[in-house]
Amino acid sequence: MGVFCCWEPLSRTSFSVQIAETISVQEATLSINLLLSILYFGNRRRIMAFAFIKTLFLFVSFTGLLLRAHAARTPQARVWSLCKPTTNPVVCFTTILPHVITLRKFNAYTALEIEIETTRELVVNTTSLVNRLLTNPTNSKDLNDSLQICSEQFDNMMDSIKETMTVVALRNAAEARFKFSAVLSYLSACTDEFNNSPIVKEGKDLYDLGGNCLDIMKAIEDRESRRRRGQPMGSPIVGPPPAVLTPCQNSVGPCT
């Protein structure tokens, strides 16, 4: 829980509240456990109480498990478990949660689509930044050249993002990851041109969002392949029926 302290400056208030809500259930369980232990160690009729404590302890632990299981089903907990291993978990959580909090069913592909859409928006924003910088008459030739390279890379990024969205709509995480990995290559082709520019800052944000997309795609891929391995061998392959010659094949009229 101490881990969350250090993200405070980065996070929005809602983020802390969401996390706090998720944790408080577990903390409450812990407090109840502690309280009960104290109460029963103070009891003089310890021997009689002992069996009771054990039963009660089991009961409390079980309740704790139930509460934890319940906590794991909240949108916050689901989004967090998806985001935790990503490149930038806080960005992942704060971009995805507001869109899924009202959904009845949480789906990793939906979360992925939200993160890709956020990446697309930032590409649009950064493209207009590049184009604005390009119009500055005091630019050196080198700066103009670099900005021109970025402008081209951002066009390419947009194409790759659109292609990715198409395959994500078809629920093909592996193909999506293949297409989307190009986005980060184009991005570094642009940011490598700069040491100190507003583009570097936007580039960092884009790198985080894009990295999150790739991480979520990989997680979906892994989960799907685990699921496939769990299935019985030899899933039926639907192909053309076997070509068996029958006596009356190709004959017109009743077969005799």
Ligand X SMILES: *[C@@H]1O[C@H](CO)[C@@H](O)[C@H](O)[C@H]1NC(C)=O
Give me the phi and psi of 208, to 5 degrees please: -65, -50
Structure token digits, residue 120: 């697309």
Among 125, 166, 225, 251, binds ligand X (CB under 6 A): 125
Burial class (CB in 10 A: 0-12, 13-18, 19+), 183: buried
What residues between 135 and 154 interact with ligand X by CB under 6 A? 135, 137, 139-141, 144
Burial class (CB in 10 A: 0-12, 13-18, 19+), 108: middle
Cβ(135)–Cβ(148) below 8 Å? no
Residue 236 is a binding residue for ligand X (CB under 6 A)? no
Residue 188 is a binding residue for ligand X (CB under 6 A)? no
Residue 26 is a binding residue for ligand X (CB under 6 A)? no
**Cβ-based nearer residue to ligand X, 16 or 139:** 139
Structure token digits, residue 62: 């079980």
Residue 112 is a binding residue for ligand X (CB under 6 A)? no
**Cβ-based nearer residue to ligand X, 144 or 225:** 144
Question: What's the sign of the alpha-carbon dihedral 209, 215, 218, 219?
Answer: negative
Residue with tokens 């980065």: 10
Residue 131 is a binding residue for ligand X (CB under 6 A)? no
Among 118, 153, 172, 191, binds ligand X (CB under 6 A): 118
CB of 91 to ligand X, least distance (A): 10
Sole window of 42-50, 130-138, 167-175, 189-197 interacting with ligand X (rule: CB under 6 A): 130-138
Residues that bind ligand X (CB under 6 A): 118, 121-122, 125, 134-135, 137, 139-141, 144
